[in-house]
Amino acid sequence: MKNKALKRLICGLSALLVCFSLFSFKLAPIVRKDTVVNSGFKLKTIIIDPGHGGKPTGTGHFSHGASGSFSTERGVTLAIGLKLQKAIEKELNNVKAVLTRTTEEDVSWERRSEIANENKGNLFISLHCNSLSDRRVREVVGHRHGKPVYNTVSVPNRSGKGVLMLVYGLHRTKEEEKAIKQNQLEGGESEDAEMNAGFDPNDPESIILINQYKSKFRQGSIHLANLINTEFVETDGRPSEGIREQGVLVLCHSAMPAVLVETGYINNPDDEAYLNSEKGQDEIVSSIVRALKYYKDEVEQVLK
């Protein structure tokens, strides 16, 4: 282990964490000043992950996701993902957007994470549509000997409405540590190649470094989720269920800040119409791009 190189990287990660140290699941106000500070870090690559797909990939089953009355999650997320890719590369200078799938064909979550890490992504945004399970209710179907006879039936639950942001659950930190070791340190192309060459996972300073990465990615995930959620609510007027932790495999296996965006309830008629409309998709894309601009300025420490 090259101690000096390792210490420089640890110090650099610590400095980046200062950008997020005041943010939690509740968004703090964005303060803008007439000052420009260059941290040296540049947001270069954003991974866009349209959830689910339409064809089997060797598993023997389809994974088209949730369904509405006339559309599927696989189609909606792909349409939004393609528009988001174009908008990011148009609106964010020198930022590349990489899609985990560009057709209706399904891609396993393992491959999605691999694509993110192979492309040295700085952010991972997974697009999904929400849906509620059917309710089980008892209804009277007849009478016998003067007493009612009940039967249990499934009734569609279309009461869900609005957006939801998910970040990976802390119970999956071991999986995240493995991804960080493989993609940021052992096999990755860190900005400090000298440090990578001497990485020792058993060295105490290496453990500190991994924890710094975990903290950085955790804070970045929560902060980006807050920014996107705020844009949906305050600009688009969408209902929101806020931000939650969940054990989403594709998030914790991507060694970078990662957010899963539930864009709406596809089994709610109003939400389904919105998700499939040009207006709805354009608003969703614009809100995510605005949030990404704020995020980019902050991690690059550009205050205006």
Please give the Cα distance from 29 to 163 (Å, whole number). 21
Residue 227, classified by CB atoms within 10 Å of its CB into exposed (0-12), middle (13-18) or buried (19+), is: buried
Please give the Cα distance from 295 to 304 (Å, whole number). 13
The predicted pLDDT at position 189 comes to: 46
More confident residue, 247 or 240: 240
pTM metric for this prediction: 0.78
More confident residue, 127 or 179: 127
Geometric angle at alpha carbon 34, from 283 and 39, rounded to 5°: 80
The predicted pLDDT at position 155 comes to: 79
Select from 108, 97, 53 the least CA-distant residue to 78. Answer: 53
Instruction: Assess whether pLDDT exceeds 60 at residue 216.
Output: yes
Q: Please tell me the class of the 3-20+44-130+161-303 domain.
A: alpha beta
Instruction: Assess whether pLDDT exceeds 80 at residue 299.
Output: yes
Location of structure tokens 């806020």: 242
C-alpha distances (whole Å) from 288 to each of 6, 48, 79, 233, 285 are 34, 11, 14, 12, 5
Instruction: Assess whether pLDDT exceeds 80 at residue 203.
Output: no
Q: What mean pLDDT do residues 234-245 have?
A: 96
Highest mean pLDDT among 98-102, 148-152, 217-221: 98-102
C-alpha distances (whole Å) from 220 to each of 124, 163, 232, 263 are 11, 20, 18, 20
Instruction: Compute and round to an integer the Cα radius of gyration of the chain.
Output: 22
Domain ranges of the chain: 3-20+44-130+161-303
Residue pair 159/228 in contact (Cβ under 8 Å)? The answer is no
Q: How many beta carbons lie within 10 A of that of residue 108, not counting itself?
A: 15
DSSP letter for 170, please.
G
Please give, one letter per residue, the 3-state secondary structure of 190-215. Answer: CCCHHHHHCCCCCCHHHHHHHHHHHH
The predicted pLDDT at position 283 comes to: 98
Question: Mean of the per-residue pLDDT values for the chain?
Answer: 80
Please give, one letter per residue, the 3-state secondary structure of 35-89. Answer: EECCCCCCCCEEEEEECCCCECCCCCCCCCCCECCCCEHHHHHHHHHHHHHHHHH
Instruction: Assess whether pLDDT exceeds 80 at residue 175.
Output: no
Tokens of 234: 């305050």
The predicted pLDDT at position 92 comes to: 96
Residue pair 296/43 in contact (Cβ under 8 Å)? The answer is yes
Q: What mean pLDDT do residues 93-97 have?
A: 96
The predicted pLDDT at position 176 comes to: 58
| Predicted confidence (pLDDT) per residue in 17-59, tens digit | 545 544 445 444 444 444 445 557 899 999 999 998 765 445 4
Residue 11 confidence class, pLDDT cut points 50, 70, 90: low
More confident residue, 30 or 270: 270
Report helix angle 269-276 to 278-299, nearest 10. 70
Range list of β-strands (E), the chain: 35-36, 45-50, 96-99, 123-130, 135-144, 147-155, 163-168, 240-246, 258-265, 302-303
Report helix angle 278-299 to 73-91, nearest 10. 50
Please give the Cα distance from 267 to 276 (Å, whole number). 12
